[in-house]
Amino acid sequence: MHRLIEGLHRFRESVFPDRKAFFESLAQGQNPDFLFITCCDSRVQPDVVLQSNPGDLFILRNIGNLVPPHGADNSVEAAVEYSIRVLGVKHIIVCGHSYCGAMEAFLNPQNLAMLPSVVKWLQYADSTRQIMAENYGHLEGKERLDKAIEINVLVQLEHLTTLPSVAPRLMRGELDLHGWVYRFESGDLSAYDPEANCFVDVEKAHLPSIRPVHSTPTAPG
């Protein structure tokens, strides 16, 4: 706790005074363009990675960066609905990450015996399990985990398209969906490129959104 309080002191003494006007402006409201859906993992810090400011990202975090389909989980759907209908976000990014504990546990369910709530939550990645079993059963170890992380991002994007707040805006071209994977050990960020049908470096990816995703990706380029 002392470490956190010391950080607060540094913020108050060194950061806030220099940007006082900016922080005061935040009291007028928020107007983010991006809903960023990512994992709870403490190693994933979107503001640090993207060097974004307070107010830039509306962030939704949960174990495994999951988006239950319409009617399955009110908390996630409510956050998505609010971000679109009230805040008017234009982009939704689902961002997985390397060495994801949720996906590793998902692939090895014997490790979840003492975590019944986690087991129940991970049911929203069941399509990921099926795709992995039917298409990538030959993979092992880290390669298997990396592929599951990518597939899971695409599955959650599909779930987004079932939400009533999302579907009509996708049809009208008012909203874009993006699938990312962040590798914290290297600082690399990859994005799903619908034209290449695989994950590529985010700076090389074609930016048009996924509307919707109906195929599984090939090996990363």
**Active-site pick, 10, 43, 85, 206:** 43
Is 43 noted as a catalytic residue in this protein? yes
Q: Is 41 a catalytic residue?
A: yes
Q: Give, in order, the Cα–Cα distances in Å from 73 to each of 8, 60, 94.
A: 35, 14, 17
**198 in active site:** no
Distance CA 115, CA 61 (A): 19
- Among residues 95, 97, 159, 178, the one annotated as catalytic is 97
Catalytic residue among 9, 33, 40, 41: 41
For residue 204, report the phi and psi dihedrals to the nearest 5 degrees.
-105, -10
If one counts every other C-beta atom within 10 angstroms of the C-beta of residue 207, the result is 11
Could you give the CA distance from residue 12 to residue 122 in angstroms, rounded to a whole number?
40
Question: Does 39 participate in catalysis according to the annotation?
Answer: yes
Catalytic residue among 95, 100, 146, 193: 100
Would residue 40 show up in a list of annotated catalytic residues for this protein? no
> Could you give the residue numbers annotated as active site?
39, 41, 43, 97, 100
